[in-house]
Structure 1
Amino acid sequence: MAPHVIAAGRRHTVGLRADGRVISVGANTAGECQTSLWRHIVEVAAGRVHLARNTGKSHTLGLRSDGTVLACGWNSHGQCNVHDWDDIVAVAAGWRFSVGLRHTGTVITTDPVTYDTLAQWQDVTAITGGDWHVVARLADGTVRAAGNNTYGQCEVSNWNGIESVAAGYLHTIGLKGNGTVQVTGYPAFWNGCARWTEIVAIAAGSYHCVGLRANGTVVTAGRAEFGQDDVSGWTNIVAIAAGSASTVGLRADGSVVVVGDNSHGQCNTADWRLF
């Protein structure tokens, strides 16, 4: 199962159907849920910002099978200006920026703050966008990061053996080949991750971390004031995502479960079937 068939922003949740169409639920303040006409999508991403920021606006990205990218939603900082991107194999979204990974292993972004740094990265195999920073996994299992480093969330230069990465508000998490994780940044947002084992996928919300175990169950760490940690009963999960204060799981039967902040109906996915 592709890891990026579900995504979550601050107030919306996005799902990619097997036929390449995209469904969205939650706030549509800036048009971030206007994905019904999208076709031939192979990956989705959603912009996210921590709840303390006084804006509910967000954006959504869709990677098409031909390597081009679609975007909708909030565009005050040019984060939706991706119409001329091509040869893209993966996308990521932060609060006010979008990131694309090219087939060549290079990275493009709409963010003027990190543009020059990201342009120098080579041999990238995976990218992720935090609220304010970008993280990349390289082909040799090392990691690079750029952007806000207030709590050391970009201090990943000594990481190795990493299979995938996820970025939150002030923290970064990496999945190692042995099923454990490596984490840096603000401790309150990832405390508890050190005990995780048998992890096969990771996600990071603004204030929490999520791990998918090999047996299809899910674990969380960090803050949980909106109930984003209420995953103890989840089973048969094949993919995970995390919003600002929500946790999303895709079940093996194609249904989607969401817990956490539901102030704008972003958890109302009971009728979804992605395949």
Structure 2
Amino acid sequence: MRATVDERNGVNGMALLAAGRRHSLACRGDGTVLACGDGRAGECDVGGWSDVVAVAAGNVHAGRNTGRSHTVGLRADGTVVATGWNGDGQTDVAGWTAIAAVAAGWRTTLGLRGDGTVVAGGRRREGQCDVDAWREIVWIAAGDWHSVGVRADGSACATGNNARGQCDVGLWRHLTAVSAGHLHTVGLRRDGMVVAAGDRRSGACDVEDWRDVSAVAAGSRHTVALYADGTVHAVGDNDFGQCDVHEWKNITAIAAGSAHTIGLRVDGTVVATGADTDGQCDVADWDRGD
């Protein structure tokens, strides 16, 4: 029997799909989760999960020491489950409650509480977990070594590694969402335009001309946009074809991994492009089963 992917809007916008460096995830309508790709650290061990309404995948740039990852699931009751690599305590989320959204970086997990505060677990060295003072947050994102939030008034805050200016979001306004990559951050404005900060060398920040965007996703060195008409556009590094999305149609959600991109169609099927060395693009059988 083919798996069923739920096409409803997810918590935190794009949470029905998630992509890491070597694995991909999808949240099904019955609350179970699909996973494909490299599961050597247990990041794909989601077969027993239930009542999950959103997923997040620890993403990171490709490197000799970045192969392992983790997966996070938000349950309908506001509790959180996690599996995979736990070298820094990034999967120690069993005690989290009243969570409304989750995000995952390389060794970091973020949880947005219903009261607008944020909890974090995992690696703290670069400051990516310094979110205790955040208030009135409505959206969260986690990059390799930095964390970003959107406040209820549409402004943004960020903490962690700022080597390329990826945390320089203090002047951003009118935001509805953000996404964080390796060394860059992108923000979606209420008017459908997109702003970006950080490393521009790959072209991942070349988003100034985008219009009518409804969702954004940042990979390690590429950025993906979902347009209001269901088409998709991408900029940045395309060494593995992760930006080859111009022919996609009828897409309702997107996610960007380190070097691959996945999209959810209106009919519940999933499409993927980019690096597939570990089977992270093996989503052909993920559909509604009609």
Report if TM-score (shorter chain) is over 0.5: yes
Relative to 1, partners in 2 of residues 1:220 and 1:264: Cα closer, same or farther, differing over 3 Å?
same
How many residues are treated as equivalent by the alignment? 275
Relative to 1, partners in 2 of residues 1:74 and 1:274: Cα closer, same or farther, differing over 3 Å?
farther
**Counterpart in 1 of 2:4?**
none
Letter in 1 for 2:278: H
Q: Are 2:225 and 1:211 equivalent residues in the alignment?
A: yes
Q: Is the 8 A contact 2:24 2:37 kept in 1?
A: yes
Aligned with 1:130 (options 131, 140, 143): 143
For the residues of structure 1 that align with 2:255 and 2:262, how far apart are their CA atoms?
5
Relative to 1, partners in 2 of residues 1:230 and 1:176: Cα closer, same or farther, differing over 3 Å?
same
What's the TM-score once normalised by structure 1's chain length? 0.97
Aligned with 2:62 (options 41, 51, 75): 51
Which runs of no fewer than 5 residues in structure 2 stay unpaired? 1-8
What's the TM-score once normalised by structure 2's chain length? 0.92
CA-to-aligned-CA distance 1:31-80 (integer Å, 9 cap, x gap)? 10000110000100000110134331000000001110000000011100
For the residues of structure 2 that align with 1:239 and 1:274, how far apart are their CA atoms?
15
**Counterpart in 1 of 2:238?**
224
For the residues of structure 2 that align with 1:109 and 1:205, how far apart are their CA atoms?
21
For the residues of structure 2 that align with 1:52 and 1:20, how far apart are their CA atoms?
33
Relative to 1, partners in 2 of residues 1:116 and 1:20: Cα closer, same or farther, differing over 3 Å?
closer
Q: Which runs of 4+ in 1 moved over 2 A?
A: 52-55, 111-117
CA-to-aligned-CA distance 1:192-223 (integer Å, 9 cap, x gap)? 31111110000000110000001100000111
**Counterpart in 2 of 1:26?**
37
Relative to 1, partners in 2 of residues 1:79 and 1:178: Cα closer, same or farther, differing over 3 Å?
same
For the residues of structure 1 that align with 2:130 and 2:182, how far apart are their CA atoms?
20
Relative to 1, partners in 2 of residues 1:69 and 1:245: Cα closer, same or farther, differing over 3 Å?
same
Q: Are 2:116 and 1:105 equivalent residues in the alignment?
A: yes
Letter in 2 for 1:223: D
Aligned with 1:159 (options 162, 165, 172): 172
Q: Are 2:264 and 1:250 equivalent residues in the alignment?
A: yes
CA drift of 1:233 comes to 1.1
For the residues of structure 1 that align with 2:146 and 2:185, how far apart are their CA atoms?
9
Letter in 2 for 1:103: G
Q: Structure 1 residues 105-114 or 25-34, which shifts more?
A: 105-114
Q: Are 2:274 and 1:260 equivalent residues in the alignment?
A: yes
Q: Is the 8 A contact 1:27 1:266 kept in 2?
A: yes
Q: Is the 8 A contact 1:63 1:69 kept in 2?
A: yes
Q: Structure 1 residues 90-99 or 110-119, which shifts more?
A: 110-119
**Counterpart in 2 of 1:72?**
83
For the residues of structure 1 that align with 2:65 and 2:275, how far apart are their CA atoms?
16
Percent of aligned pairs sharing the same letter: 48
